[in-house]
Amino acid sequence: MARIVGGMGVSHAPSIAATYDRGATHEPEWEPLFSGFAEACAWVEKLKPDALVVIYNDHVDQFSFRSWPTFALGLADQYEIADEGWGPRAFPPVPGHPELSWHIARSLVADEFDITTCQEMVVDHGMLSPLPLLNLKDGWGARVVPLATNVVLHPLPSPRRCWNLGKALGRAIESYSGDERVIVVGTGGLSHQLTGPRFGDVKPEWDQQFMDLLEHDPEQLLTYTHDDFMALGGSESVEVVNWMAMRAALPASARREHRTYYPHMIMGYGLVAFAVNGAA
């Protein structure tokens, strides 16, 4: 049977992608962030995952305001790199895992989640800003299953609904008949506000509190609404529900292995990695 061997919550942002692409990860203003990412990358390599299930959100590259699913799962053999306005990044297509994807789709539907299934998908910085830091070796390393959540077009699925999605995802992965070692990744956030008079607000105290709760008392986060997250961390910080879904997919006994946080410019960047007991 497949095994979840770890989990990770990690920020995504165009700035992460741009800094990586221009080889500036060791510049003084970015080194505090990318050094933390490097530690997590080394940890991922030790776990030797066969697949990454990445919970993220699209940024009007795969979906549009005319048609935006609540939850969407990729079923493809590979995923093309989105053109976000400056041409696609210079990566090969991301390799998919259609067998695992189809199993997850069937399991989630049986668990009463109405999943949009995508035979074709492009992936943008929601996945691709952290993924090369964790999974890029001789092309790509582990195969990827993309699971997109709606944090853009209201009404949004509640934090509790996203938590329950993660629970169902964990059951789906661990009921797969293959012997894959799987890491679940949730991307997005942390605090940032991209519109209105609060543009540029970063809330380090709340970001640290959120990561504390995710580690020590994640179910307390179910008492928060999207309005709460927006008030505490800015309108775009609702992406943290992807971290919550990741955490819910892991056993309650999962322990924190790595944590880094760096408030910079208009965003609170963070990463928390969890090890699953007995998975090493």
For the segment 171-212, what is each residue's pLDDT rounded down to a tens digit?
999 999 999 999 999 999 999 999 888 998 999 999 999 999
Give alpha helix (H) positions in 7-146. Answer: 14-21, 31-47, 98-110, 125-128, 131-135
Please give the helix or strand (H or E) that residue 10 lies within, else none. Answer: strand 3-10
The percentage of the chain sitting over the pLDDT mark of 90, rounded to a whole number, equals 90
Mean pLDDT for 121-138 is 89
In sign, the C-alpha dihedral spanning 145, 135, 253, 223 is negative
Residue 112 has pLDDT above 90, yes or no: yes
Q: What would the pLDDT profile of 238-272 be if each residue is shown by its tens digit?
A: 999 999 999 999 999 999 999 999 999 999 999 99
**Residue 35's pLDDT band (cuts 50, 70, 90):** very high
**Helices 98-110 and 159-174: angle between axes, nearest 10 degrees:** 120
**Domains present along the chain, CATH in parentheses:** 3-275 (3.40.830.10)
Active site residues: 125, 192
The pLDDT value given to residue 86: 87
Q: For residues 83 and 275, what is the distance between their CA atoms, to the nearest angstrom?
A: 34
User: pTM value?
Assistant: 0.97
The residues, any chain, with a CB within 8 Å of residue 109's CB and separated by 6 or more, are 115
Q: For residues 114 and 119, what is the distance between their CA atoms, to the nearest angstrom?
A: 16
The pLDDT value given to residue 279: 62
Q: How many CB atoms sit inside 10 A of residue 196's CB?
A: 9
